[in-house]
Amino acid sequence: MKIRPSKRASVAALGTGALALAVCGSLVAFGANAQAAASSVGLGTAGSFAVLAGGGITNTGPTTVTGDIGTFPTTTITGAGSLTLHGTNHAGDSVTQGAKTDLVTGYNTAAGEGPTTAVPADLTGMTLKPGVYNSASALALSGKLTLNAAGNPNAVWVFQAGSTLVTGSGSKVVLVNGAQSCNVFWQVGSSATLGTNSTFRGTILALTSISLTTGATVDGRVLARNGAVTMDTNTITRSACSSTPTSKPTPTPQVTSTPSGAVETGDNSTG
Q: Tell me the pLDDT band of 69, cut-offs 50, 70 and 90.
A: very high
**Total H helices, total E strands in the chain:** 2, 19
Q: Tell me the pLDDT band of 102, cut-offs 50, 70 and 90.
A: very high
d(CA 228, CA 246): 42
- Residue 185, pLDDT > 80, answer yes
In this structure, are residues 178 and 237 in contact, taking their beta carbons and an 8 Å threshold? no
Mean pLDDT of 136-153: 97
Q: Could you tell me which residues are beta bridge partners of residue 217?
A: 199, 235
CA dihedral 216, 56, 86, 171 (to 10 degrees): 10
In one-letter notation, the amino acid at residue 76 is: T
Phi, psi of 113 (to 5 degrees): -65, 150
pLDDT digits (tens, 9 = 90+) for 39-63: 999 999 999 999 999 999 999 999 9
Q: Tell me the pLDDT band of 248, cut-offs 50, 70 and 90.
A: very low
d(CA 128, CA 145): 8
Which has the minimum average pLDDT: 192-196, 240-244, 252-256? 252-256
Q: Tell me the pLDDT band of 233, cut-offs 50, 70 and 90.
A: very high
What spatial distance separates the first Cα and last Cα of the chain, rounded to whole Å?
118
- Residue 88, pLDDT > 80, answer yes
Cis (ω within 30 of 0) for the bond into 253?
no
d(CA 127, CA 174): 9
For the chain, give the mean pLDDT. 84
Query: What are the C-alpha distances in Å from 126 to residues 102, 173, 175, 230?
Result: 32, 10, 12, 28
What does the DSSP 8-state code read for residue 43? -
d(CA 112, CA 105): 11
- Residue 221, pLDDT > 80, answer yes
pLDDT of residue 244: 54
| Prediction pTM value | 0.78
d(CA 14, CA 19): 9
Burial call 233-247: b when 16+ CB within 10 Å, e when fewer: bbbbbbbeeeeeeee
Ramachandran area for residue 58 (φ above 0: left; ψ -120 to 50: alpha; else beta): beta
Q: Which residue has the higher pLDDT, 231 or 262?
A: 231
In this structure, are residues 167 and 188 in contact, taking their beta carbons and an 8 Å threshold? no
In this structure, are residues 194 and 172 in contact, taking their beta carbons and an 8 Å threshold? no
Percent of the chain with pLDDT over 90: 74
